[in-house]
Chains A and B, each alone.
Chain A
Amino acid sequence: MIANQTICNDRGMILVAKGVLLSTSIIYRLRKFNIEVIEVKEDGDEAAQSSSTFTATARKAISTVIDLTDNVFSCRGLNVKNNISDIELVMHSVLKRPFIQEFLAVCDKNELLYKHSIRTAILSINMGLVQKWDTLNLEYLAMCAILHDSGMGREFSEHDTQHPFVGFTKLRANPDIDMLIAVVCLQHHEYYNGSGFPFGFKRTQITEFACLLAIVDYYDRLLMKNSDPRKVMFETIGKKGILFDPHMVDLFSSTIDWSRLYNIPMS
């Protein structure tokens, strides 16, 4: 039997994803979290779903992942070195999904958006690995990160306050995309103190993945405008408890290689 719905726990973390074969261990895990009922479908030809092809778009994206991961380590002082192979493994898996490839094929024309989406995914997965999240959650986190700006128009503008809702509507309209991904897209500019947009949600109203992505997105956008990674780092961390969940800021701080950060030559 195959799960026909994605189930999240109280924090918005994935317990089981739609399309996954329900093994004994997965059923046991669900029972542990008091999930007594789940929609299923018969095995049938859905097994073919798992053999998605690796297109030219995906191959280009993987190559970009490798370049950007190296850049993040050497030019930004973020400690990704130990996690490079895990990051690439997660991205490899995620890039097989047709809707991810479709998005990347479209935003390929906008280099800023393309690189920002992939870099956000790299940084998010890195934080997820530090948190020891399982592969399923890392993959979903990566998908949320890649698609978080899918509501952006041609102009990659920070003044576009409608793009989270536009993205949410687009993603929601695709039945192959889990609602968690659409909700994270909607909430990635919502801030801890309620000063975000489009709804002004705060604290417990914002899902875990969206809290994480908010910091990563903010940090990467800032660095796209300002070439000094040290200033950007302090500005991001300085928003702890104001824009960002304190726990997530601590997690982000733990991924910084401070000695490397201070040895980066100014451009």
Chain B
Amino acid sequence: MKFLIVDDSAFMRTQIKQVFSELAYIEFAEAVNGIEALEKHRTFNPDVVILDYIIPAPDGLAVLKILAEIDKKVKIVMITSLGNQNFIYKDCIECGAFAIITKPIARENALKVIKSIRTRVI
């Protein structure tokens, strides 16, 4: 599987790669802002995008809306520190997010995401 990780925090990108690579064989690409995310999506053609809610312009929600429109196959997993705020869930799901994970990313949640992705792909 090909994962594109979009987060402006170097630490979070490292942590996400660590958590997911323990669970499956994954090829990773990274982006630090919205423009780079869209560029990497064009060139890397990922199966999954792990997208931080708060990134430099355009922000995570904007990138989610654009990606959901241009690529119906890609699974977009939003990550956020404000995971339990209802408006975030509502916004992200309505705009086409496949799943939402709260930071810090727990292994069980990452595993659930991988399982769901595999189920949908088959």
Contact = CB atoms under 8 A, between A and B. Distances in A.
Q: From DSSP, what is the main secondary structure of chain B's interface residues?
A: helix
A6 B57 contact: no
Contact of A10 (B10, B57, B61): B57
Contacts of B10: 36
Interface stretch (B30-38, B76-84, B110-118): B30-38
Interface string B45-64: 00000000000111101100
B58 A201 contact: yes
A186 interface: yes
Task: Name, among A36, A169, A207, the residue most crowded by chain B CB atoms within 10 Å (CB to CB).
Answer: A207
A187 B56 contact: no
B42 interface: yes
A180 B35 contact: yes
B56 A6 contact: no
A10 B69 CA distance: 24
Contacts of B34: 183, 207
A207 B57 contact: yes
Interface string A158-202: 000000010001001001001110110011000000000001010
A206 B57 contact: yes
Interface string A1-40: 0000111111110000000000000000000000010000
A267 interface: no
Contacts of A10: 8, 33, 56-57
Q: 9 nearest interchain CB pairs?
A: A10-B56, A179-B39, A205-B62, A8-B35, A179-B38, A205-B58, A207-B57, A199-B65, A205-B59
Given A180-B35, A183-B58, A201-B62, 20 more contacts: A5-B36, A6-B39, A12-B33, A12-B35, A12-B57, A169-B70, A175-B42, A175-B43, A179-B35, A179-B36, A179-B38, A183-B34, A187-B58, A199-B65, A201-B65, A204-B59, A205-B57, A205-B58, A206-B58, A207-B35
